[in-house]
Structures are given as C-alpha cells and as structure tokens.
Amino acid sequence: MVTNRDAPPHPYQDLPDRQVWRKAVADTHPLQLDGIYRRKFDVSPEARISTAGSCFAQHIAKALKRNGFNFQDFEPAPSLFPAHRMPAYNYGVYSARYCNIYTARQMLQTFERAMGLFKPTEEIWEKDGGVADPFRPLVEPEPFESVEELMHARRAHLASVQAMFYNTDIFIFTLGLTEAWISKRDGAVFPLCPGTVAGQFREEEHAFRNFTHAEILQDMLSLIRHLRAINGQMRFILTVSPVPLTATKTGQHVLAATTYSKSVLRGVAGELAAELDFVDYFPSYEIITAPSMRGMFYDNNLRTVNSSGVDYVMSHFLAEHAPGAVKHENGIAARSKKDLTGDLEGVCEEMMQAQGLGYA
C-alpha cells in the first residue's frame, strides 16, 4: 500500500512559510507579517525618487522624506512661504503640484500635457467668482482671480512636471481608481466630476467612464514606454491604494464597485511587475486589507487609513529599502517611532468631494 510518506515529491512540498496561508497569515500575529514584500531591485541613497498617484501616495512621499531618501520636489514653495500652509497649496505633497492623480489615463495625459502632446479643449472651470484648473481644481484653497493667473500657474506646473520626468530614477505611482469623468470632446480625464468642487456638469459634454483591465494595462504600458524613451534608466514601483471608493456611479453597491476597482488595479500592477524587470510592486493594499488585520487600520468610517496603518505599511518598505535599516526577527525595520510618524493627514480631493456631497 502506498502511503503519503511513500508518495513521489510534488511542487508543494517544502514551501517556505511565507507561501502557506496557515503559517504566513492564519497562525501569525497580524503585526508580524514576514516577507510580504521583497524588493526586486535596490534603491540607492542617491536615487532620485518622485511620486504621484491617489491620496494614499501622499503618505509614501512623506515617509520617504522623513527617512533619508532622495525625494525630489520639482515645484517647491517660494522661499518665504509659511510651512504650515504648504499642504493646503499642495507644496511638497508630491514631486509636483499635480494634486491627486487617481487613474492611469489621468497619469498618462499628465505626461502628454507636460510634453506638449495633448492640449485639452476644456481649459477653465468657474469657481466662487474666480476660475479653477479642471485638472487641478483644488491646487489652492481659493480660485485663481483671472484666466491669466491660472494659465501662468499651469505653464509653470507643466514645466516642473516635464523636468521631473527627465530627472527621476525611480517613479513611485499609486493606482487609486478605475472610475473617472471624461470630456466627450477629446477624452480628457478630470480628477473629479465637473460641478462637485468647481465647474458645471453638462451631460452633453461630460461622461462617466469605468476603465477596464485592458485599458488600464495599455495606459500604463504607454506611460512606461514614453518615460523610458526620454529617460532610459527610469524604474518604477507600483502600489494600489487601500482606500475604498467614496461613492460609485456604476449602479453597483459601493462595496462591489470597490472590489472591482481594486482587483483590476491590483491585476494590472501585478502583471506589469511580473513581466518587466524594471517594475516592482509594493503590497500596501494587501497589508491594510488582509483578513488578519480585521479592519484595525481604518478609521471609524471604514475608509480612510489611520496613522498606525500608514506606519505599518511603510515599515515593510523601509525594511527593504531604507538606508542602513536593520531588521528585527519579524522582518520589520528597526527604526524608531519618531522616524515613522508625522503629519499623516492626506490632502484628498475625493474625500473633499464626498464631504461636499454629504457622503463622508
């Protein structure tokens, strides 16, 4: 009689603990995840790092700055600008003042606009007696007083974005949403629905779009191809935001719509990381949303990520990439709480939109 002991070997024998659910998750304390992230490539202290993406990406930028990385800011605040007012004006939030970039198509069009390849026909939104940039409607607390002021700010911004693309070694991009509002005239993607915080919604001019896996993958491949064409050594670290949708226009339950959105984005990021040796994936989404976490890293609204969650996510990144980081026995970087904590309140346009709609 053949017993299991006598059975021939198979691929699932002798798997490391990190590849077995019971050992890696079910029987492990949630704050002792080991090996959930292993870097594909090194990030040297000299590597010029730039960031963009949805609101969760703001936390990554802040952690990089606090922990000795060569974070790049291509659109810094004026020298005498009050430090406590900088976040409200989107200075230092990302590597340029593009505000939150929620979708891959919006990121691709940001590149195209900066390089003079695309000029949207819808250039101005009215707001509170002034004007706002449709592609950065919340870049400043108050609207621009004139079209000339807005255009001057836009030209300076796009020049900064262009400089960023030419002078970045590692680009960290956080994928946030599949849902977006676009112009029917030229396909320009807006970060927010027209009429929520600025502008006016017109059904004949604006359309809802829920991008598919194929579309997002193609947008990301186009973006990467363009960037590598002008900056051949650029490498990428992709993440997926663990922040659920505020609201959905799909007609689905918001929970189902969130699952679709995050699943698609995770699939795209995973495919790119698997196929391209210069693209890595960092699992911030998995760390926050794992069943073992039991939602403890979300605020009471079950949506925004609390500071402890941000700290825990970044501890895994720092364990692999922080200059001079050493590891505890559980694989988490041995860095002080002071190194990891700080002002972690994100400037999130989607959240502000929700507040205006009464959804927060």
Q: What is the pLDDT along the chain (360 residues), one digit of tens a residue?
A: 555 667 778 899 889 989 998 998 998 888 888 899 999 999 998 999 999 998 888 888 888 888 889 999 999 999 999 999 999 999 999 999 999 999 999 999 999 999 999 999 999 999 999 999 999 999 999 999 999 999 999 999 999 999 999 999 999 999 999 999 999 999 999 999 999 999 999 999 999 999 999 999 999 999 999 999 999 999 999 999 999 999 999 999 999 999 999 999 999 999 999 999 999 999 999 999 999 999 999 999 999 999 899 999 999 999 998 755 544 334 444 444 344 333 334 555 554 454 455 544
Extended strands (E) in 271-325: 279-281
| HEC readout, 245-272 | CCCCCCCCCHHHHHHHHHHHHHHHHHHH
Q: How far from 176 is each of 59, 305, 321, CA to CA, in Å?
A: 14, 14, 23
- Provide the 10 A C-beta neighbour count for residue 90: 24
**Where in the chain are the domains?**
44-357
Are 289 and 239 within 8 A, CB to CB? no
- Cα 88–90–95 angle (5° rounding)? 155
Task: Identify the CA nearest to 61 among candidates 165, 174, 227, 158.
Answer: 174
For the stretch 318-359, pLDDT in tens is 999 875 554 433 444 444 434 433 333 455 555 445 445 554
